[in-house]
Amino acid sequence: MKKILVIHGPNLQLLGHRNPSVYGRMSLSAINERLKVQARRFKAALTVIQSNHEGEIVEAIGKARGRCDGILINPAAYTHTSVAIRDALEAVGLPAVEVHLSNIYARESFRRKSLMSPVVTGQITGFGPESYTLGLNALIGLLTSRRPKR
């Protein structure tokens, strides 16, 4: 059974209420339920965290080595600012897929740069909650085929 760490970054606990025109109306708990159903179909186990604190995310990534096979991450605002999360993803050496609900490249200029993209296997952006399911599908495919992580 593949073990996958799912990380939701800052403010994602507000999904469904925060800027629904940008992020949609689906709650984080609903997204997590969809992911769990999808994971069961692929015989994968998920560990899901949400944190508004950069250090907690860095620690979770660091602890994933030896416990998880891959990481699905929406770093949220930390996408554009966190060298620490970027370095943790690089150091842990696990396949990782970065996801975003909105198309970060069609938004404000400061959101168009992902510090994570050079160190993750791939990125899915702009499909709303479907970004997560597409990302999980891609990650499970990578883990199943044992393709290189980058």
Which residues are the active-site residues? 23, 100
Q: Give yes or no for a contact between 78 and 54, defined as CB atoms under 8 angstroms apart.
A: yes
Task: Specify the residue for token string 């600012």.
Answer: 81
Cα distances from 106 to residues 37, 38, 80, 100, 109, in angstroms, run: 30, 29, 14, 12, 8
Q: What is the CA radius of gyration of the chain?
A: 14
Q: Structure tokens of 105?
A: 């490249």
3-class DSSP state of 96: strand
Other residues' Cβ atoms within 10 Å of the Cβ of residue 127: 16
CA 118 vs. chain centroid, Å, equals: 15
